[in-house]
Amino acid sequence: MDILSSGLNLTDNALKVLQKRYLKKDEEGNVTEKPEDMFRRVARAVAAADLNYGRSPEEAGTLEDEFYQMISSLYFLPNSPTLMNAGRRLGQLSACFVLPIDDSMESIFEAVKNAAIIHKSGGGTGFSFSRLRPGGDVVGSTKGISSGPISFMTVFDTATEAVKQGGTRRGANMGMLRIDHPDIIGFITCKDDNKRLNNFNISVALTDEFMEKVEVDGEYDLINPRTRKVDGRFGAREVFDLIVRYAWQNGEPGIVFIDRINQSNPTPQAGEIESTNPCGEQPLLPYESCNLGSINLAKMVPNGEVDWEQLRAITHKAVHFLDNVIDINQYPLKKIEEMTTVNRKIGLGVMGWADMLIQLSIPYNSEKALNLAEEVMGFITSEGRKASEGLAEIRGVFPNYNKSIYAGSVKVRNATITTIAPTGSLSIIAGCSSGVEPVFAVCFVRTVLEGTKLFEINPYFETVAREKGFFSREMMDRISETGSIHGIAEIPEDVKEVFTTAHDITPEDHIRMQAAFQRYVDNAVSKTVNFPNQATTEDVKEVYLRAYSLGCKGVTVYRDGSRESQVLSRGNGESSGQATGDGQAAGEKQKIIPRKRPDTIKGTTQAMKTGCGTLYVTVNEDEEGLPFEVFNHIGKAGGCASSQSEAIGRLVSLALRSNIAPEEIITQLKGISCHQHAWSRGGKISSCADAIAKALELYMTKGKGNGNGRKLNNVVMQIGACPECGGTVEHESGCAVCRNCGHTRCG
């Protein structure tokens, strides 16, 4: 089916993402519905819930049309599982789940099983490992020694890896541990080895007491969860500084302020909140799930002003929609259905915030933007609560109402109403900026069809640039180098102020924006605080402290290029202090003898366009399927170009035959620049050396080994290139999102 014939106003990228991940397919993988069919399928299934409340089929049909209009016009979109599964056999519509883990082998593996069922259905799971006894503690039944919570996290990680291979939505986990758990140091450092826990985001649950000890440089107690007795003391600042250092190093662990989360727990008598969903914005009780949805704020500025009436109407309709989803959802576990339906939590959020600001000519990093953030989110939460009150009058309050903070006051249908989630794939479908993040890049390059270069330009910027007369292909080329327009003299200052990107603004601006939205959100706000590569640990520490003082419920940070340096400096996991294959210490002087070339060898050749002509790069592999040598030939070129590329190939081959990790070689060559550039394979080729590096990288990502029989997908994701299409990857709330094809990876 040709979905490009869709009558909806969807971008090419939106159609690509829909075709790959959302639209129905037959057994051969052929798409069997168009985007309008998908929207109609979802609207019909969700509207049918009204039949349970005395509405006639005709009234349900009218509601179906209203829901269809709302989602097909991209004013509002529900979370991905709802778009994928509503009106289909699977029928699992929630994105967020939290599962309990008690201190027993039975509970641990029950949670592993339940997580696998949830991942299979398209959901993500959050866990607190804080109830598990620490490593080295006694095991009562056998008098043996406990391995501790971190070892059991690897069991969950392995199960997720196995299940996600067959899914349309990759499984993701949140792993959380309280700051006062005796194994907290091991937890903070558990992702130091980049081959571990790749299906987890991790966050430390910080208490108010701990933050007070940090302020006065005091010590705090560690509590053994088995005995509930003090099991040691740590200096609070030392532990806090360790969290900061690891977050600076690779973005993890994140932090959540667990006491603050429980202070706003709407049903405290029903239980204590211990964890959140994988991206941190949805705190949930054990066995709770939540379905989310986002209003597209870019559509709420039709004439250069916020259309408050339209925003009110969409908010009310979206709350109705999300409440209906609870009723038609086919829950993966009976316990989840029970907990979800007694609290009826929904999470209405926003996307397109940066686009709204641009249309209003308001700089993201301005007091005016902060004030508008509070006004817009305060309005949505207020109107959302009114909508929930209206539903309660017809359908009744949620069953746990008498155990809630609302008891005896306002009567609402839903325990929580608002959440701000990351909207990676949804914002691609809607053609808007993601969540409440600033614009990631004003312009970047995408290549198609034999190296044809296409500029992906922010449509608002292109309009302004053409109207003001400074648009040119040469300028777009310059902007695409960094994605930012700052530093380009021809662009007026007022335009630069409005089109500020994630890396143009300060971390302080990021956290102040998060705090502005948090003031009017029931649950939490998913947002990434971006740091430049040269940021220090003190910069990260200041943001963490600022987040606590401003009332945020958690923080996720990402320092530009931090994961690249960690992954590539570690190679295959061996550092200078480890032993080499022959038992000799790596720090000792030794001679490396390259492996001999076998008589017969096989490989593949890739054509890479360079400024000197087409470079043909051949990668040959050894009997184990690992890269063994590289040859290259540069078309009809001779002289220096030919001899230098041959020299590079010989040295790369020597390194490979000496067991140097391919990613280390790629790092050394990638980005080397000469005076003639070209575009090939999805990005700029800066030189012949750069082309050889990218050819080797492409070879690795197409299923060849990296020394462990595994693809280098994790490395590619972390250094900013999508493993599926080579597009630009954005880091958002612990996840990497490709704006080109919609590929996502959390953990």
For the chain, the farthest-separated pair of C-alpha atoms sits apart, in whole angstroms, at 86
213-222, 590-599, 737-746 — most confident range: 213-222
pLDDT reading at 731 higher than 80? no
Tell me what pLDDT residue 312 has.
Answer: 98
Tell me what pLDDT residue 604 has.
Answer: 83
CB count within 10 Å of CB 339 equals 23
Confidence band, pLDDT 50/70/90 cuts, at residue 397: very high
CA angle 260, 261, 265 (to 5 degrees): 120
pLDDT reading at 718 higher than 50? no
> What are the pLDDT digits (tens) for 70-122?
999 999 999 999 999 999 999 999 988 999 999 999 999 999 999 999 998 88
Confidence band, pLDDT 50/70/90 cuts, at residue 567: very low
Tell me what pLDDT residue 182 has.
Answer: 97
> Per-residue DSSP letters for 504-566?
TS-HHHHHHHHHHHHTT-SS-B--EEEE-TT--HHHHHHHHHHHHHHT-SEEEEEETTHHHHH
Tell me what pLDDT residue 215 has.
Answer: 97
Confidence band, pLDDT 50/70/90 cuts, at residue 708: very low
pLDDT more than 90, % of the chain: 63
Tell me what pLDDT residue 166 has.
Answer: 54
Tell me what pLDDT residue 110 has.
Answer: 97
Tell me what pLDDT residue 582 has.
Answer: 32
238: which residues sit within 8 A by CB, 6+ positions away?
none
Confidence band, pLDDT 50/70/90 cuts, at residue 680: low
Least reliable range by pLDDT among 339-343, 600-604, 709-713: 709-713
Which among 552, 308, 608, 340 has a CA at the least distance from the CA of 436? 552
Average of per-residue pLDDT across 649-665: 85
562: which residues sit within 8 A by CB, 6+ positions away?
248, 249, 250, 251, 533
Average of per-residue pLDDT across 8-33: 91
Q: Which residue has the higher pLDDT, 703 or 18?
A: 18
Which among 380, 313, 421, 391 has a CA at the least distance from the CA of 73? 313
Please, is 508 exposed, middle or buried when counting C-beta atoms within 10 Å of its C-beta (0-12, 13-18, 19+)? middle
Which among 225, 172, 201, 199 has a CA at the least distance from the CA of 554? 201
Q: Which residue has the higher pLDDT, 670 or 718?
A: 670
596: which residues sit within 8 A by CB, 6+ positions away?
none
Q: How high does pLDDT run on average in the chain?
A: 86
Q: Are 385 and 374 in contact (CB under 8 A)?
A: no
Average of per-residue pLDDT across 489-513: 95
> What are the pLDDT digits (tens) for 452-499?
556 689 999 999 999 999 999 889 888 988 899 998 999 999 999 999
Q: Which residue has the higher pLDDT, 78 or 714?
A: 78
Active site (catalytic) residues:
277, 279, 281
Confidence band, pLDDT 50/70/90 cuts, at residue 4: low
Tell me what pLDDT residue 508 has.
Answer: 96
* Beta bridge pairs of residue 531: 559
Tell me what pLDDT residue 81 has.
Answer: 94
- pTM for the model: 0.79
154 three-state secondary structure: helix
- Which amino acid, 677? H
pLDDT reading at 326 higher than 80? yes
pLDDT reading at 201 higher than 60? yes
Confidence band, pLDDT 50/70/90 cuts, at residue 525: very high
Tell me what pLDDT residue 402 has.
Answer: 96
Confidence band, pLDDT 50/70/90 cuts, at residue 688: confident
pLDDT more than 70, % of the chain: 86
Q: Are 250 and 562 in contact (CB under 8 A)?
A: yes
> What are the pLDDT digits (tens) for 583-641?
333 333 445 678 777 777 888 888 888 877 788 888 888 876 778 888 887 765 556 66
How far is CA 69 from each of CA 6, 24, 695, rounded to the nearest angstrom?
Answer: 15, 20, 46
> Per-residue DSSP letters for 644-671?
HHHHHHHHHHHHHHTT--HHHHHHHHTT
Nearest-angstrom CA–CA distance, 152 and 137:
14
Domains and CATH numbers, the chain: 1-73 (no CATH), 96-276 (3.20.70.20), 441-500 (no CATH), 566-573+599-746 (no CATH)
Tell me what pLDDT residue 308 has.
Answer: 98
Nearest-angstrom CA–CA distance, 429 and 441:
18
Which among 275, 131, 139, 257 has a CA at the least distance from the CA of 549? 257
Nearest-angstrom CA–CA distance, 695 and 521:
47
306: which residues sit within 8 A by CB, 6+ positions away?
300, 356, 360, 372, 376
Nearest-angstrom CA–CA distance, 207 and 91:
38
Asked whether the CA dihedral 98, 99, 103, 108 is positive or negative, the reply is: negative
Confidence band, pLDDT 50/70/90 cuts, at residue 566: very low
Is the omega angle on the peptide bond into residue 302 within 30 degrees of 0, that is, cis?
no
591: which residues sit within 8 A by CB, 6+ positions away?
none
- Which amino acid, 623? E
Q: Distance between alpha carbon 718 and the CA centroid of its chain, in Å?
A: 12
Nearest-angstrom CA–CA distance, 346 and 531:
32
Tell me what pLDDT residue 141 has.
Answer: 64
How far is CA 495 from each of CA 24, 439, 485, 498, rounded to the nearest angstrom?
Answer: 42, 14, 9, 5
HSE, side-chain direction, 13 A CA sphere, residue 115? 36
Print the SS3 string covering 665-682. Answer: HHHHHCCCCCCCCEEECC
How far is CA 246 from each of CA 279, 334, 523, 632, rounded to the nearest angstrom?
Answer: 18, 39, 26, 40
509-523, 684-698, 705-719 — most confident range: 509-523
